[in-house]
């Protein structure tokens, strides 16, 4: 059951966030200044310690758990608000503290810098500013005395950017018992939330052919390179933009030298799909790949990494509710389907309603011009607080 929130309360929430503008920006700056590329244990522990110290100043936070991830760092799980009545299923907020920017980026000309409404910094948009935002949303709910009916959990993992090998079980464990999941990933341009994400499959196709001298007896050889060139054409011919399915051979390696018919080669294939039935169809296509030259042996490894986040009724309901809150705050919230996957895909696979792309607006994720739009801080934090208060 989604509660309504009156406009005067929303305005109050927004004013509180706006009043804390300098403190919030200061927290964001400090968080960005601790570099935390995936697998940088010291960096991960540094950002987690700072978030923990911010969290410890928020009275509604009841529990802070740090979960060790060997050779990667720490995941952070924060619990806030007690359940009222029978609403034991929490609203889970999902994010990550790792970035793709290697250590040293900060001092290599890509450090923190403000230009007009933009605040630039490595990992600021994806997603350090939004980690701070989530804590501030919890704080302002306490300040306006707006108690969510459900408990709130905030899970920030430390290995999202490298596939979530250790974060995934935590995400799934928490999502399975959550009423809904709000994902802090960056929004699509214009602040649009993400109501559909494609799924991803990754395969390696290795070919074992027969080597021979390219000059003396080329006929005796069976080229692994020729085989995979033909397979590449076949795979790309399966692209189906209407269905939203794409095959990309993005990496090729093999051969020994120019005068040898290649005995070995391999390709890496990235496949994207919008729906689960497409995922099964693609999986079947990949697993039954036959060689063109019967003297060449194909070895196929890989599979589906993330299933699609489909625009289910639960997703649409969450979006419409968020849109209503945004309207109360005076802005129009739009939605978008995107090709990239996130941890939101794992949640969707469990049939839990999820709304993704709730992070602060900006641009340049993973790039040198990564930045947030500072003016978006207050409305976006108020939107998140409004969601927590009413879901
Ligand atoms: Zn991200």
How far does the centroid of ligand 1 lie from the alpha carbon of residue 264, in Å? 37
b/e per residue 328-362 (b: at least 16 CB within 10 A): bbeeebebebbeebbbbbbbbbeebbbbbbbbbbb
Residue 126 Cα to ligand 1 middle (Å): 5
Question: Ligand 1 is a single-atom ion; what residues have CB below 5 A from it?
Answer: 126, 185
Amino acid 129: pLDDT: 98
82 Cα–ligand 1 center, Å: 29
The predicted structure's pLDDT at residue 211 = 95
3-state secondary structure of 59: coil
Residue 49 burial (CB count, 10 A): 13
CB 13 within 8 A of CB 144: yes
Which residues in 372-390 are b (16+ Cβ under 10 Å) and which e?
bbbebbbbbbbbbbbbbbb
122 Cα to the center of ligand 1, angstroms: 12
**What residues pair up with 387 in beta bridges, in sequence order?**
none
DSSP string, 224-248: HHHHHHHHHHHHHHT-BTTTTBEEE
pLDDT for position 86: 74
Return the pLDDT at 25: 96
The CA 24 to ligand 1 mean position distance, Å, reads 20
Q: Within 13 Å, how many C-alpha atoms sit on residue 342's CB side?
A: 27
Q: What is the pTM of this model?
A: 0.88
What distance in angstroms lies between residue 161's CA and the mean position of ligand 1's atoms? Answer: 7
- Around Cβ 168, how many Cβ atoms within 10 Å? 16
State residue 303's pLDDT score. Answer: 94
Distance from Cα 322 to the centre of ligand 1, integer Å: 21
CA of 3 to the centre of ligand 1 (A): 29
Query: pLDDT tens digits, the chain, 391 residues: what are they?
Result: 678 888 888 889 899 999 999 999 999 999 999 999 999 999 999 999 999 999 999 999 999 999 999 999 999 999 999 877 777 899 999 999 999 999 999 988 878 999 999 999 999 999 999 999 999 999 999 888 888 989 999 999 999 998 899 999 999 999 999 999 999 999 999 999 999 999 999 999 999 999 999 999 999 999 999 999 999 999 999 999 999 999 999 999 999 999 999 999 999 999 999 999 999 999 999 999 999 999 999 999 999 988 999 999 999 999 999 999 999 999 999 999 999 889 999 999 999 999 999 999 999 999 889 999 999 999 999 999 999 999 9
Q: For all residues of the chain together, what is the average pLDDT? A: 94
- Residue where the block lists tokens 């309360």: 9
Distance 187 CA to ligand 1 centre (A): 10
d(CA 253, CA 267): 6
Ligand 1 midpoint to CA 357 (Å) = 9
């Amino acid at each position: 059951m989604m509660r309504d929130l009156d406009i005067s309360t929303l305005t109050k929430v927004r004013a509180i966030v706006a009043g804390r503008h300098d403190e919030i920006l200061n927290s964001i700056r400090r968080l960005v200044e601790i570099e935390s590329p995936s697998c940088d244990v010291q960096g991960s522990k540094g950002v987690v310690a700072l978030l923990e110290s911010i969290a410890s100043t928020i009275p509604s936070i009841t529990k802070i758990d740090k979960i060790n991830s060997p050779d990667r760092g720490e995941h952070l799980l924060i619990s806030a608000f007690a359940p009222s009545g029978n609403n034991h299923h929490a609203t889970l907020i999902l994010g990550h503290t790792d970035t793709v920017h290697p250590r040293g980026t900060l001092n290599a000309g890509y450090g923190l810098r403000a230009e007009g409404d933009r605040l630039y910094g490595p990992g600021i948009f994806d997603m350090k500013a939004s980690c701070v935002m989530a804590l501030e949303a919890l704080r302002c709910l306490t300040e306006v005395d707006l108690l969510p009916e459900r408990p709130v959990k905030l899970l920030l993992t430390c290995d999202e950017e490298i596939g979530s090998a250790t974060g995934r079980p935590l995400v799934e464990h928490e999502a399975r018992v959550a009423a809904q999941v709000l994902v802090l990933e960056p929004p699509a341009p214009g602040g649009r939330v993400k109501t559909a994400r494609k799924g991803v499959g990754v395969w390696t196709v290795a070919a074992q052919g027969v080597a021979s001298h390219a000059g003396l007896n080329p006929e005796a050889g069976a080229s692994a390179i020729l085989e995979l060139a033909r397979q590449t054409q076949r795979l790309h011919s399966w692209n189906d933009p209407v269905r939203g399915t794409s095959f990309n051979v993005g990496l090729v390696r093999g051969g020994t030298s120019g005068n040898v018919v290649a005995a070995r080669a391999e390709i890496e294939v990235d496949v994207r799909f919008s729906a689960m039935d497409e995922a099964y169809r693609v999986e079947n296509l990949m697993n039954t790949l036959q060689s063109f030259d019967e003297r060449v042996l194909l070895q196929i490894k890989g599979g589906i990494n993330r299933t699609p986040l489909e625009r289910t009724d639960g997703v649409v309901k969450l979006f419409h509710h968020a849109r209503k809150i945004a309207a109360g705050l005076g802005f129009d919230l739009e939605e978008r389907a995107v090709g990239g996957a996130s941890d939101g895909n794992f949640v969707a696979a469990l049939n839990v309603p999820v709304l993704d792309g709730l992070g602060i607006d900006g641009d340049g994720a993973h790039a040198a011009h990564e930045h947030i739009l500072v003016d978006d801080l207050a409305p976006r934090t108020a939107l998140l607080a409004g969601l927590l208060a009413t879901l």
